[in-house]
Amino acid sequence: MPYKERIIEKRYYSIGEVADLLDVAPSLIRFWEAEFDIIKPKKNRKGNRQFTKEDIEGVKLIYHLVKERGYTLQGAKDYLKNDHQTFKDEVEMIESLKRIRAFLEGLRDQIP
């Protein structure tokens, strides 16, 4: 039976990894954590934040509202409070479309 390569996914991510993913400072993520209820990372014995995939999705939602759509912090809070699921679906769709676009651009670059 041939060996099948598995992609190993981490259970927890550090604040630095999350900050690098979004190209923001870790201090901004700590600030958003204090401001928004949807970001609740666990802390290890040393007090380091451990972000789950759900926490990262919350950070991405806030990033999209504040940085990409230009919402104020209060406006983002109101939006998340009133229509969280619809917005989450929109962000997932946008992420999917970005991946498809990158794939198609890669194909285009391979055509002689």
Give the residue extent of every domain in the chain: 15-82
Q: What is the pLDDT of residue 3?
A: 46
| Options 3.20.20.60, 1.10.10.60, 1.10.1660.10, 1.25.40.10; CATH of 15-82 | 1.10.1660.10
* Buried b or exposed e, range 70-106, using 16+ CB within 10 angstroms: ebeeeebbebbeeeeeebbeebeeeeeeeeeeeeeee
3-state SS assignment for residue 52: coil
Task: List C-alpha distances in Å: 63 to 16, 19, 23, 109.
Answer: 16, 11, 10, 30
Q: Looking at residue 104, what is its pLDDT?
A: 92
Q: Write out residues in the chain with pLDDT < 70, as ranges.
A: 1-8, 83-85, 87
3-state secondary structure of 36: coil
DSSP 65: I
